[in-house]
Every structure is written in structure tokens, then in C-alpha cells.
């Protein structure tokens, strides 16, 4: 299998509706689907920040708001 074939492609490409940190040409794109009011999603914040710090400009972080119905009936 080639590197290109092994790479995952987003069904919905990164776009203007996304919240993006990092360069568009970064080697890695990390997409988080999260809920602003979810405490579990909030616990991921320091982990994401540590990854960003470690990877620097090699990482593009994309946040997509995905409200959880169970939390917001």
C-alpha cells in the first residue's frame, strides 16, 4: 500500500465554517468534533494544547462544533 493510499481523507473537507489553528500545509490535520458545553470535551483541551505545543507548525488543528443531543434536549 502506498503512502497516498494509506492517507485518510475527510468526507467534509476543512472549510470556512471550521475553527482552524495552524498552517494549511501542515503535515498532520487533527479534527476534533466537540461540544462547547460537554465536560468530557473540555477535558480534552489541555491534551490538544500539549499536542499543538509538541508538534508546532507540523499540525493543523480543526475544531468542529458538534452539540450532543443528550446534553441539549
Structural domain containing residue 39: 28-73
C-alpha–C-alpha distance, residues 30 and 71, integer Å: 24
C-alpha–C-alpha distance, residues 49 and 37, integer Å: 18
Q: Name the band, by pLDDT with cuts 50, 70 and 90, for residue 64.
A: very high
Per-residue pLDDT tens over the stretch 10-49: 788 899 999 999 999 999 999 999 999 999 999 999 999 9
Is the residue at 36 inside a domain? Answer: yes
Is the residue at 19 inside a domain? Answer: no
Burial 33-69, CB ≥16 within 10 A → b, else e: ebbeebeebeeeeeebeeebeebeeebbbbbeeeeee
61 closest CA partner among 36, 33, 41: 33
Please tell me the total count of domains within the chain.
Answer: 1
Is the residue at 18 inside a domain? Answer: no
Amino acid at each position: 500500500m502506498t503512502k497516498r493510499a494509506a492517507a485518510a481523507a475527510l468526507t467534509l473537507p476543512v472549510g470556512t465554517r471550521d475553527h482552524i489553528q495552524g498552517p494549511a500545509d501542515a503535515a498532520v490535520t487533527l479534527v476534533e468534533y466537540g461540544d462547547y458545553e460537554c465536560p468530557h470535551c473540555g477535558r480534552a483541551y489541555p491534551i490538544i494544547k500539549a499536542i499543538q505545543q509538541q508538534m508546532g507548525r507540523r499540525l493543523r488543528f480543526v475544531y468542529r462544533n458538534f452539540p450532543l443531543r443528550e446534553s441539549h434536549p
